[in-house]
Amino acid sequence: MPNAINYATKYERELAQIIQQGSLTSELETPNVNWLDAQSFKVPTLTVSGYKNHSRNGGYNRGDVETNYTTYTLSFDRDIEFFVDKADVDESNQAASAANLTRVFLQEKAIPEMDAYRLSKMATKAIDRGSDGTASEEVTKANVYGKLKAAILPVRKYGPQNVIVYVSSLTMDALEQAENFTRKIEMQASGPQAIESRVTSIDGVRIIEVWDDQRFHTEYDFSSGFEPTAEALEINYLVVAKPSIIAKPKISSIYLFEPGAHTQGDGYLYQNRMYHDLFVKEHRMDGVFVSTKQNA
């Protein structure tokens, strides 16, 4: 009986590119971690003491160095399988069919769900901080610039290059019409003419528009795909300091079983399982702030 082919290994580079290109939260990912097992990894936290007054009688003040390790366990474990009848697949092209199926599934289902899970988890952690981490408000072109500046200010200590602000399309619409700054729009004399008025940064902090509003709520039902719950709040904007976040995706397995290698029919059986999760570091909870729409 033929064995299953592991397409996660065969197409590892291509699948990684699809995830990177399609995900709004891919740059939050932690590149290297110390894996303990298939699901858990540990991250060191170094704490040192500060300066003390120098004595001119000689010698130095001895400081303290403490290293702690925090273990994180991936808990968002997802899977799906598809059955494709033998008549619908050209036998000489089954590898490409598996790759295409994976590509479509990642682009249309897996990646949007990954963003929704990560954004909602960060928003929930910010809400848990109370008034220091969240605001319920109406964002307009008259107030959006000031509100974003105020939300970014306490997070700038992590370095503006390390801060991202995710904004809804409605917030971006308000920002591009804000009256707090002037714009100069130029049209190219040759070639395709276009106007790009979206704001991409504020004081060195990048602005990323979450154009798919289904990914931008505070709570989801993940029982089948992902859907905002009845209690979910729509997010106006989410300020995130990357040093506060640990995000780790892990494609565990993508398999294609040929006809005869399984007992579920005369066709190809495709199985996809993915681990991933996101964590907000306890000692850097102040690096996340969320603004939600006011309840009607």
Q: How many other C-beta atoms are found inside a 10 Å radius of the C-beta of residue 286? A: 16
pTM for the model: 0.86
- DSSP code per residue over 41-108: EEEEEEEE----PPPTTS------EEEEEEEEE--EEEEEEEEEEGGGS-GGGHHHHHHHHHHHHIII
* Sign of the torsion formed by the C-alpha atoms of 20, 27, 281 and 71: positive
155 and 197 Cβ atoms separated by less than 8 Å: no
Q: What are the residue boundaries of the structural domains of the chain, listed by start?
A: 5-48+66-181+196-292
Q: Residue 45 in contact with residue 69, Cβ under 8 Å? A: yes
* Strands (E) located in the chain: 5-6, 34-35, 40-48, 65-73, 76-85, 134-136, 163-168, 201-202, 205-210, 220-221, 227-228, 235-241, 245-257, 267-280, 288-292
Which pair of tokens denotes residue 101?
Answer: 């199926």
Residue 1, pLDDT score: 47
Distance CA 18, CA 46 (A): 35
CA angle, corner 82, sides to 78 and 84, nearest 5?
165
* Distance from C-alpha of 52 to C-alpha of 221, rounded to nearest angstrom: 52
Contact 65, 46 (CB under 8 A): yes
pLDDT for position 38: 82
Task: Round to whole Å and give the CA distance between 198 and 221.
Answer: 31
Tens place of pLDDT per residue across the chain (296 aa): 456 777 777 777 777 777 777 889 999 998 888 888 888 988 888 899 999 999 999 899 999 999 998 899 999 999 999 988 887 776 546 665 777 788 888 899 999 999 999 999 999 999 999 999 999 999 999 999 999 999 999 999 999 999 999 999 999 999 988 887 766 666 655 555 555 567 788 999 999 999 999 999 999 999 999 999 999 999 999 999 999 999 988 877 888 888 888 888 888 888 989 889 999 998 899 999 999 998 76
Cα–Cα distance measured from residue 29 to residue 12, given in angstroms and rounded to the nearest whole number: 17
Q: What pLDDT shows up at residue 93?
A: 62
In this predicted structure, what is the pLDDT of residue 188? 57
pLDDT of residue 289: 98
CATH architecture of 5-48+66-181+196-292: Alpha-Beta Complex (3.90)
Instruction: Give CB contacts under 8 A, 24+ apart, made by 215-221.
Output: 215/24, 215/112, 215/115, 215/116, 215/119, 216/116, 216/119, 216/166, 216/168, 217/116, 217/120, 218/120, 218/123, 218/124, 218/127, 218/290, 218/292, 219/120, 219/124, 220/116, 220/117, 220/120
